[in-house]
Chain A
């Protein structure tokens, strides 16, 4: 909680500012929409966070979202497969993509940036070729399966705000991840690997497997996220579905306190980081800044957030050292 104080403050500040100066920010519909988008993007950001903690980077998230998001309706509608075979197949394929990245990085010792950059190009290309670059959608069907993303829970006394069902998988994943990092041996190992891979190896940590595992988790979550995104939107173009999503995911994870140097995890921070980015996006529209400015504003705020965070961290590290010196 203490680690997330900065990002929570930033988040609240943007919320308060927008609700005062923007119209309709606090409307039930807008808040429900924001919750839904935050939940969907959180899944990607949590995946990106795991890889970043392990000291790596995954640029292919958006393309994996595209591939799985396009493949799901393509197999269901065009090929008439049953959801019970499509969903496991798509998830297995995502995990296999992660395994492929992980093995290239740990066994062939290729750089994560390059491997996943190639993945970024590769998977979108495959998605476009597979579907002949045609838009894919559910054409109004598959209501039952799509309710994973479209379901809403009524909450008393909140007016027309209804809680999106996507919040459930996000909370489950986030809690599981938080538990892993704080209490399990594997979580500790992943943190150690991200911090100093060589020292972790000397200490008996199976670093290659952990790194590979991190990429598997990341791609699996990207695949799962891609499926939820298409369930949510209903149809998509292979050429632009999931464009830049990896950058949102990475930005959210970093904003949430996962240093790109690796070895620092903050699950709550990732969630709040994602929410901050999406609120910012909405704020730009509600405040009438013009959507052309979207990327510029997000870039600026991100830079500010990271710089402040770094300065605060440096200050508090110095203080902590001083305190422990005096008390011992």
Chain B
């Protein structure tokens, strides 16, 4: 394992935070053990690992949310002198110059941008807010992250990408020397991600130390100077950027090689199962959408966030009302979601915590909820069948730990996603719709989820999914539809598609229909 030697790094970097043999136990179980690393100013240190590898625990320790039970943390002051520090609260971390940008965005939606940035640290005199000063300062920090919005804009009117930038502005405004970002790009489109990475490079050049956690190895490889790999709470490697590549990182993360799925047969002759014509979601006044999915076919909807993919899926699933029609096996789909689930249409929602899971209920309840209706006897739940189903789904979806009575809240993100998808796979839907099927899910779990989706398609079901990750679209889909501003602007066979071609259409460039429309205006 080539360790990062100081002389290999750029001369202007300087260690600001040392982590020595740090570990943490939850109820006697080691979640993290023996972590040793150094964070340097003017450098991006990436931490990668599967879900449950201990990344979140490490971040919580560094940002003072969680107190470590083993090892030592040391910070360097401006003169370079080291001192041990105990981080017992976020305040302690802030004092040490460490700021965390959460994965879940925690802005108070009812405040304006300036209010969000200075929440809890509002400049005041005799208890009166100094609004003018606050807005002036806020403007400065917004400029730092390249956001040209008025500080008095309400946070609720901002896009997810803008909120992400405001979180960063907030962290910067604490004069942080170490900026910790937890999955900052998980809800951003490719374009927004590129801008965020550019911003982080600028911050790095200005001497900020950046600790970056991401599932996206592309981003890690594009941005990081050093990479630390975690697996099962232990450090399995520390690599310089020059010494690492994708395969090596994956192998260190998973501890095994990820086998690529065998190519699927083309389905151009199979019967059309889903036929959508001129569908307009009542949710958003968008263009009508028409598409078809054949039996056994997996179709991917690519596009930027806000391109209208979710609206199409929700309209087909009957979650939102719509005009136009969707037909399954030649029969018109009618009614609300309950009716459509019974006709064999299932939608795995994008936001699993809000629309997918019963977090306080057991894994068993979460897995069997859709099944119990399909297999009821005179309104009664078949309890013995239900137990068997739960066991079957747990082993089929490879949910870990295989504990049916455990509350879903305590499972990792990947296992939570598996339990939502498992609930719908349990009813063998004729049409499976998935909105971001593997959002915030690690490499290993993603491969397992993809395998299950392929297996369902192999039985003749139609699958339509939306994903912001081009990599996933290319990996999973047989055919790709590209959406831009509410309409389908292009179609590719998966073999013929490239990331560049899809991006061009998704961003509205190089699209014949769009240019014709512009010409006619």
Q: Residues of B contacting A320 with CB < 8 Å?
A: 405-407
Interface members, chain B 348-365 (any A CB < 8 Å): 349, 354-361, 365
Q: A198-B354, A204-B373 are in contact. Are A327 and B337 (CB under 8 A)?
A: no
Q: A183-B383, A327-B403 are in contact. Are A205 and B360 (CB under 8 A)?
A: no
Q: Which one of B2-10, B234-242, B374-382, B447-455 contacts A?
A: B374-382
Across the interface, do A201 and B369 meet the contact criterion of CB distance under 8 Å?
no
Across the interface, do B407 and A203 meet the contact criterion of CB distance under 8 Å?
no
Q: Which one of A37-45, A111-119, A184-192, A291-299 contacts B?
A: A184-192
Supplied contacts A183-B380, A201-B337, 13 more A-B pairs, CB within 8 Å: A183-B383, A184-B379, A184-B380, A185-B372, A188-B372, A192-B365, A198-B355, A201-B319, A202-B349, A321-B410, A325-B27, A325-B29, A326-B29
Across the interface, do A185 and B342 meet the contact criterion of CB distance under 8 Å?
no
Give Cα A192–Cα B403 distance, bound, in whole angstroms.
Answer: 20
What's the least CB distance linking B431 to chain A, in Å?
13
Across the interface, do A192 and B401 meet the contact criterion of CB distance under 8 Å?
no
Q: Residues of A contacting B373 with CB < 8 Å?
A: 185, 189, 204
Q: How many residues of B are in contact with the other chain, CB < 8 A?
A: 40
B314 and chain A: residue at smallest CB distance: A202
The reply to whether the CB of A110 lies closer than 8 angstroms to some CB of chain B is no
What's the least CB distance linking A261 to chain B, in Å?
9
Task: Find B336's partner among A188, A206, A324, A327 (CB 8 Å cutoff).
Answer: A206
**Secondary structure of the B contact surface, majority rule:** mixed
Give Cα A195–Cα B338 distance, bound, in whole angstroms.
Answer: 17
Give Cα A32–Cα B354 distance, bound, in whole angstroms.
Answer: 49
Q: Residues of B contacting A189 with CB < 8 Å?
A: 373
Task: Find A204's partner among B354, B361, B370 (CB 8 Å cutoff).
Answer: B370
The reply to whether the CB of A171 lies closer than 8 angstroms to some CB of chain B is no
Q: Which residues of A contact B (CB under 8 A)?
A: 183-186, 188-189, 192, 195-196, 198-208, 263, 317, 320-322, 324-328
The reply to whether the CB of B188 lies closer than 8 angstroms to some CB of chain A is no
Q: Residues of B contacting A205 with CB < 8 Å?
A: 338, 369
Give 8 closest A-B pairs by Cβ, nearest first. A204-B341, A328-B401, A206-B338, A324-B403, A324-B406, A328-B403, A185-B376, A198-B355
Q: List 26 A-B contacts (CB under 8 A).
A: A184-B380, A185-B372, A185-B376, A186-B379, A188-B369, A195-B358, A195-B360, A198-B354, A199-B349, A199-B357, A202-B317, A202-B347, A203-B341, A204-B337, A204-B338, A204-B370, A205-B369, A263-B358, A317-B407, A320-B405, A321-B406, A325-B29, A325-B401, A325-B406, A327-B403, A328-B406
Q: Residues of A contacting B29 with CB < 8 Å?
A: 325-326
Task: Find A203's partner among B336, B381, B423 (CB 8 Å cutoff).
Answer: B423
**Secondary structure of the A contact surface, majority rule:** helix
Interface members, chain B 308-346 (any A CB < 8 Å): 317, 319, 336-338, 340-342, 346
Q: Residues of B contacting A183 with CB < 8 Å?
A: 380-381, 383
B373 and chain A: residue at smallest CB distance: A185
Give Cα A191–Cα B405 distance, bound, in whole angstroms.
Answer: 16
Q: A192-B369, A204-B341, A206-B338 are in contact. Are A199 and B381 (CB under 8 A)?
A: no
Q: A195-B360, A196-B358, A321-B406 are in contact. Are A201 and B338 (CB under 8 A)?
A: yes
